Amino acid sequence: LSRGYVSLDRLKQKIELLELKKVVLATKKDSLEGSIDNKLRRAERLREKLLVRAVSNFADGEVDGCIAASNSSEHDEHDDVESLAVGGSSTVVAIATRENGKDLLQVDGSAATVRSDVMHVAVNSPHGVDMAQNGCIVKNNDNNDDQFASDKKESLSLEESRNSDDPLPPPDLDLYNFHESSMSSDCRLPSESPPLEEREVSFCLKVGDLDLGDLDDTGLHVELNRRDIDCALFCAILSKLVERGLTHTHLDDSKIWKPSKETDKFIRKNKLAALGSEILVWSGHPFDFSSGKKTSGFKENMYGTDLPIVRARGMVQIEPKYLLDLLLDNDRVKRYNAMSLGRSDELVLQTGVDTIGAFGVGQSIVVRSLSKPPLVRKPLEFINMMHARSLDPSQGEGKGYLIVTRGVEESSSFVKSKSLGNQILFSFNLLREVTVAENNSTWTELTTISHINIANVPSFLARSVGMKSAASFIADVRKACAEAASS
């Protein structure tokens, strides 16, 4: 019988190994598909950025008409030309083409020559006016001179373009043998991203599982951007997420949370009074999604209602404020997360954990991160809304901080999402101040809750992997803090 049990255990291990291999292969497939989609999206963004480079129309010295952009030419004779034309009485400007060589676009009695091997604008103007703006090449067929000029500014208004006094290079520049590599550094089209505060970005935050009361007519998601965000609604969403985090980081209900074997043994013996170097871990399904089911179009699979939720708790020998700074610092993520490839801010709504502003109390930022877990070939990308605030002792919350994280999606891809994909549904990090009586020092009791979906990982593996990851997170944070203190 003993041999039979041993054989059965080995068989189970083999089955788990095969399942893991299956997951790895499926993850690789998903990563490859995601990589292709990302490259296509990046190519589309780059094309759009190039298409909006400065163009202007001029007729008898006066700007006339408005800019109209299209993904493909509306002209039957040259459907392969991607053009951006300025309507007016005398001139057409066209940029970019899908085909090598040059194409001729005839509109309003004017012709625009377009080349695809380099990004430029070529204009055939009856007025003999040479125009150069934002690194665009301009050709004037009246005098057959090819002239080039570049403006270092990110953009120019039409009036600035007309009055530009920038010097032009000599006319012997060979337009038809021109390549981007021949441009000097101050003549290149700006390739870097605009400053963070100037970016026009928009993200979708899912709220279908939150009971927003009178604001519940918002539907399943809200837009996060700088233009038209509803501050009152956003504050209500944060309040619900904070309430959820505080409730279940504190609550030790055995009907909700199931401890690991080691945690159960420790609790029975110590009653949580002697928590020192131990790391306690639970799993469960503590959250009520019934409010979301009342909303039209609510899909449980998009909120991970069937996925396990993991909680871990441990002591960190550092004050909560220093630990908070570590967790919020993008430049130090790799110190406690070996799988991280970096994290960057995408949308800053409000900074400062004690700030009281239009977006409520605390700091709210959308961040983008890349992670490379073991056995996964391609990095995993996560976009999250991170909110951090101080605890309110007057409300019985104690002293410390709470960090709330919830996955968001770029608005352009949100409507296309049919599956959950790789996403942090939510996570909470409670940093509670604890005074150690022996040496009167201040430590941090770190409680973390995570509800994460990794595509193609089965639920029976998600639970065990999640519990190990939660414990490892606290252990790695301890190590990073100890190294920082020693240095």
Predicted confidence (pLDDT) at residue 185 exceeds the cutoff of 90: no
- Percentage of the chain beyond pLDDT 70 is 58
pLDDT tens-digit readout, 226-250: 777 888 888 989 998 999 899 888 7
| Distance (Å, whole) CA 139 – CA 95 | 13
| Distance (Å, whole) CA 199 – CA 359 | 19
Instruction: Copy the structure tokens of residue 370.
Output: 């890349």
**Inter-axis angle of helices 320-328 and 459-486, to 10 degrees?**
120
Closest CA to 422 of 462, 450, 456, 449: 456
CB within 8 A of 339, min separation 6: which ones?
Answer: 371, 372, 373, 374
Report pLDDT for 60.
34
| Distance (Å, whole) CA 244 – CA 148 | 60
Mean pLDDT of the chain: 69
Report pLDDT for 149.
36
pLDDT tens-digit readout, 186-218: 333 333 444 555 557 889 888 877 777 665 555
pLDDT tens-digit readout, 24-82: 787 777 777 777 777 777 777 666 555 544 333 333 333 333 333 333 333 333 333 33
| Distance (Å, whole) CA 158 – CA 67 | 11
Closest CA to 221 of 236, 211, 206: 206
| Distance (Å, whole) CA 72 – CA 81 | 6
| Distance (Å, whole) CA 204 – CA 201 | 11
Report pLDDT for 475.
95
pLDDT tens-digit readout, 117-149: 333 333 333 333 333 333 333 333 334 333 333
Predicted confidence (pLDDT) at residue 444 exceeds the cutoff of 90: yes
- Helix, coil or strand: residue 317: coil
**DSSP strands (E only) in 333-482:** 340-350, 356-357, 360-361, 363-371, 380-390, 400-410, 423-436, 441-453
Residue range 465-470: average pLDDT? 89
Predicted confidence (pLDDT) at residue 101 exceeds the cutoff of 90: no
In sequence order, the β-bridge partners of residue 480 are none
Do 400 and 431 form a contact (C-beta atoms < 8 A)?
yes
- Helix, coil or strand: residue 429: strand
- Number of CB atoms found within 10 A of residue 282's CB: 23
Predicted confidence (pLDDT) at residue 179 exceeds the cutoff of 70: no
Report pLDDT for 298.
55
| DSSP conformation letters of 85-98 | EE-SSS----B--S
Report pLDDT for 143.
40
Report pLDDT for 465.
85
Where is mean pLDDT largest: 159-163, 221-225, 292-296, 388-392?
388-392
- Residues composing the chain: 487
Report pLDDT for 129.
34
- Gyration radius of the chain's alpha carbons: 29
CA-to-CA dists, residue 70 to 80, 85, 86, 122, 136, angstroms: 12, 9, 11, 18, 19
- Percentage of the chain beyond pLDDT 90 is 25
| DSSP conformation letters of 34-53 | HHHHHHHHHHHHHHHHHHTS
CB within 8 A of 290, min separation 6: which ones?
Answer: none
Do 66 and 87 form a contact (C-beta atoms < 8 A)?
yes
Closest CA to 252 of 279, 281, 277, 278: 281
pLDDT tens-digit readout, 313-370: 999 999 999 999 999 999 999 999 988 999 999 999 999 999 999 899 999 999 999 9
| Distance (Å, whole) CA 289 – CA 266 | 32
In CATH, the number for domain 203-486 is: 3.30.530.20
User: Where does 155-282 have alpha helices with state H?
Assistant: 158-162, 231-250, 261-270
Where is mean pLDDT largest: 4-8, 90-94, 342-346, 461-465?
342-346
Do 433 and 320 form a contact (C-beta atoms < 8 A)?
yes
Do 225 and 202 form a contact (C-beta atoms < 8 A)?
yes
Closest CA to 310 of 337, 336, 281: 281
Report pLDDT for 282.
93
- Tokens 């009791």 sit on residue: 445
Instruction: Copy the structure tokens of residue 307.
Output: 């996925």
Instruction: Copy the structure tokens of residue 173.
Output: 């520049």
Residue range 265-290: average pLDDT? 77
CB within 8 A of 363, min separation 6: which ones?
Answer: 328, 350, 351, 352, 353, 355, 386, 387, 388, 389
- Number of CB atoms found within 10 A of residue 39's CB: 10
Report pLDDT for 352.
95
